[in-house]
């Protein structure tokens, strides 16, 4: 075993092993949450980020350092979810930027790569905070710098000591962030980084270790538009029938103009386009009604590999049978079949040649293009009620997500692509999604994206209400930022463990009222927790309290709390709406 160099194949194996190790520990990392609420998602976000890169990596032969680095960098960038995922993607981007020009990496080069990784990640965060994954990564670099400076050449010793010191830094994170110390946990992002590093080291030490990764299912609701579960989706909603994917083995590299022309052509015949090109390969993913046209055009640039075409209507119908076999309710299957029969009868009655379902499916008409707008909107929320509220006040695309369901940068870019507007405002409505949204700004080439950094659902609603029709993007950004800044928000959920935060004793199962700056109330009685939290949010200038009750909250209970608040705050208007959000019994705002 060569203990002085890491080649492309070894680096690829180490990355896959790191992704696998992180996946195995993701639920445990999720539980390392400062607040004892059922919404920890750091492990999931970091895992999905690495798995996105692992998927890209699987499409290379793993023998070329530049290709391995590109797959890791681009895959993690597009799949980045949440703050932890975005920071991890930046660490990987910086590392691979330093590695891609070399065939092999020794101790000195690895140290340079770690330096570049830390520098890139710190630059990506507006206000870097010590005691986080950034600190842990910086600790890894400093130990590497120390060992390299001392003349260490053996990679087994180097990697083992770097990991050991990184674990020491992780253990110190509670001393750097009092909130971690009070909660009795280390930083979850730092823990995720350490687990990935452990996996990478294991693959280096055992070159025969199995680093294959099985199918990783995303958490429910992640990165999916808020159109409901598969069983609630009609095939009429599928506007482009065929999901087509392939790789072009390029005869010669794309010229910029050539790539733009190919992209423009693909956009004219379908949607959900992903086109990633380098010197030798071009990866294409598109939904269209005529994959033949797509393939014919692609063949003008080179041979095709990994070609896959799926009929999405047929897949949906198969999924309906799977879902309803489990539930025993075949109503929706009957609706699908009868609707399909009706289409065929109408078509055959018109004198057209008789068609089978499969042939008829191919005749699906292309959707009409949405009317062009100067300014459009994308928002993130969980809950059918909240989705409808956002749409009713002007939002074009809703990404189903939020806490525990952080959409990736690619999900945000996909939603932006659906909005026919010159400028698209993105409202994350969660602090863990802001970085992914800001990363989308850097990756979008055709449209202007402006991120309104809303951290809660009420802030997002307030921002939308601050939009001024007829004004420009700059004026509206200022107006929307001012509007959401005037809102005080609160959420009610439950504790998943005993803890003490800011001197407040909280027990497993207690209700908790969480405001913009921390926990405001807790106790066994939900109504009392809501009232205590609002006492901290309402002041003499407050004019309106808005309440959005969740999917696990009975309407009658929500109405009782509304009535109690109306008595307690006689001079303040109270509005009650169904939000349908998971995890949080109530989301409230005061303005």
Beta partners for residue 310, in sequence order:
243
Tokens of 268: 């004219």
Residues 66-82 as b or e (16 or more Cβ within 10 Å = b) = bbbbbbbbbbbbbbbbb
For 380, the token pair is 């993130």
Name the nearest CA neighbour of 89 among 137, 135, 142.
137
Instruction: Tell me how far apart the alpha carbons of residues 431 and 454 are, in angstroms, rounded to a whole number.
Output: 7
Backbone angles phi, psi at 390, to 5 degrees: -65, -40
Question: Residue 395's pLDDT is what?
Answer: 94
Q: Which residues contact 416 (CB under 8 A, 6 or more apart)?
A: 378, 397, 424, 426, 440, 444, 447, 449
Cα dihedral 81, 84, 88, 91 sign: positive
Contact 508, 497 (CB under 8 A): yes
Q: Which two tokens stand for residue 505?
A: 């004793």
CA distance between the termini of the chain? 66
Query: What domains, with CATH codes, occur in the chain?
Result: 6-205 (1.25.40.340), 238-313 (3.30.70), 316-361 (no CATH), 373-476 (3.40.50.510), 488-590 (3.30.1180.10)
CA distance 458 to 491: 10
Q: What is the model's pLDDT at position 79?
A: 81
pLDDT on residue 71: 92
Nearest to 73 by CA among 443, 446, 402: 443
Cross-strand bridge partners of residue 276: 283
- pLDDT of the residue at 368: 58
User: Which segments within 175-280 are labelled E, that is strand?
Assistant: 224-225, 242-250, 270-277
> For residue 290, what pLDDT is reported?
87
How crowded is residue 484: how many other Cβ atoms within 10 Å of its Cβ? Answer: 26
Residue 133 is predicted with a pLDDT of 93
* pTM, two decimal places: 0.62
Cβ atoms 376, 423 nearer than 8 A: yes
> What is the pLDDT, as a whole number, of residue 37?
58
Strand duo 373-381 + 397-400: pairing: parallel
User: CA quadruple 260, 266, 270, 276: dihedral positive or negative?
Assistant: negative
* Token representation of residue 351: 């004198």
DSSP string, 107-146: HHHHHHHHHHHHHHHHHHSSS--TTSHHHHHHHHHHHHHH
Distance of CA 314 to the CA centre of its chain: 27
The counts of H helices and E strands in the chain are: 21, 19
Instruction: Count CA within 13 A, CB hemisphere, residue 13.
Output: 17
Torsions phi, psi for 512 (to 5 deg): -130, 135
Q: pLDDT below 50 — which residues of the chain?
A: 217-237, 319-348, 350-366
511 bridge partner residues: 494, 523
CB 526 within 8 Å of CB 496: no
The DSSP H or E segment spanning 465 is: helix 457-465
Say if residues 492 and 585 touch (Cβ distance below 8 Å): yes
**In sequence order, what are the residues at sequence separation of 6 or more whose Cβ sits closer than 8 angstroms to the Cβ of residue 219?**
41, 44, 404, 405
Do the Cβ atoms of 305 and 321 come closer than 8 Å? no
- For 175, the token pair is 């001393």
Kindly give the pairing relationship between strand 573-578 and strand 544-549: parallel
Taking CA atoms, 6 is separated from 103, 154, 217, 471, in Å, by 9, 11, 31, 56
C-alpha gyration radius of the chain: 26
Identify the burial level of 469 via C-beta atoms within 10 angstroms of its C-beta, where 0-12 means exposed, 13-18 middle and 19 or more buried: exposed
In DSSP terms, which residues pair with 345 in a beta bridge?
none
Q: Which two tokens stand for residue 411?
A: 């999900």
CB-hemisphere CA count at 13 Å for 490? 26
> What is residue 236's predicted lDDT score, i.e. its pLDDT?
45
Query: To 10 degrees, what angle do helices 331-349 and 312-327 make?
Result: 150
């Amino acid at each position: 075993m060569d203990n002085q160099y890491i080649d492309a194949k070894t680096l690829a194996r180490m990355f896959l092993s790191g992704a696998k190790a992180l996946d195995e520990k993701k639920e445990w990392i999720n539980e390392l949450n400062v607040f004892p609420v059922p919404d920890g998602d750091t492990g999931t976000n970091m895992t999905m980020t690495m798995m996105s890169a692992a998927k890209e990596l699987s499409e290379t032969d793993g023998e070329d350092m530049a290709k391995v680095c590109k797959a890791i960098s681009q895959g993690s960038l597009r799949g980045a979810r949440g703050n932890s995922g975005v920071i991890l993607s930046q660490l990987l981007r910086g590392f691979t930027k330093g590695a891609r020009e070399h065939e092999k990496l020794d101790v000195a080069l690895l140290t340079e790569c770690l330096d570049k990784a830390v520098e890139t990640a710190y630059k990506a965060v507006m206000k870097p905070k010590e005691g986080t994954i950034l600190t842990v990564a910086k600790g890894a670099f400093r130990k590497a710098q120390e060992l390299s400076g001392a003349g260490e050449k053996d990679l087994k010793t180097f990697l083992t000591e770097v990991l050991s010191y990184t674990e020491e830094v992780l253990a110190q994170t509670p001393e750097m962030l009092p909130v971690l110390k009070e909660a009795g946990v280390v930083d979850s992002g730092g823990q995720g980084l350490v687990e990935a590093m452990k996996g990478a080291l294991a693959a280096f030490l055992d070159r025969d270790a199995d680093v294959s990764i099985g199918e990783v299912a995303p958490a429910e609701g992640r990165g999916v538009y808020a159109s409901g579960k598969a069983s609630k989706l009609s095939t009429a909603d599928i506007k482009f029938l065929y999901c087509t994917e392939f790789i072009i083995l390029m005869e010669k590299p794309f010229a910029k103009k050539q790539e733009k022309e190919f992209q423009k052509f693909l956009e004219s015949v379908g949607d959900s386009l992903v086109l990633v090109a380098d010197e030798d390969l071009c990866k294409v993913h598109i939904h269209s009604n005529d994959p033949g046209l797509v393939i014919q055009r692609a063949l003008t640039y080179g041979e095709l590999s990994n070609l896959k075409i799926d009929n999405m209507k047929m897949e949906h119908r198969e999924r309906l049978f799977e879902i309803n076999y489990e539930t025993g309710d075949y109503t929706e299957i009957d609706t699908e079949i009868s609707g399909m029969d009706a289409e065929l009868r109408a078509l055959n009655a018109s004198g057209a040649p008789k068609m089978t379902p499969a042939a008829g499916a191919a005749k699906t008409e292309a959707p009409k293009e949405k009317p062009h707008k100067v300014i459009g909107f994308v928002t993130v929320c969980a809950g059918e009620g909240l989705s409808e509220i956002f749409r009713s006040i002007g939002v074009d695309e809703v990404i189903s997500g939020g806490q525990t369901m952080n959409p990736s940068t690619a999900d945000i870019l996909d939603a932006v692509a659906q909005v026919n507007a010159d400028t698209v405002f993105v409202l994350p409505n969660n602090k863990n999604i802001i970085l992914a949204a800001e990363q989308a700004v850097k990756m979008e080439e055709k449209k202007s994206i402006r991120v309104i950094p809303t951290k809660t659902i009420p802030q997002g609603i307030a921002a939308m209400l601050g939009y001024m029709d007829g004004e420009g993007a700059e004026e509206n950004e200022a107006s929307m930022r001012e509007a959401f800044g005037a809102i005080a928000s609160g959420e009610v959920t439950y504790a998943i463990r005993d803890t003490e935060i800011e001197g407040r004793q909280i027990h497993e199962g207690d209700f908790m009222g969480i405001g913009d700056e921390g926990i405001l109330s807790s106790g066994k009685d939900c109504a009392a927790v809501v009232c205590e939290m609002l006492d901290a949010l309402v002041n003499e200038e407050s004019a309106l309290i808005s309440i959005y009750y969740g999917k696990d909250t009975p309407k009658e209970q929500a109405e009782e709390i509304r009535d109690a608040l109306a008595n307690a705050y006689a001079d303040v208007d109270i509005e009650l709406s169904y939000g349908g959000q998971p995890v949080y019994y109530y989301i409230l705002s005061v303005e």
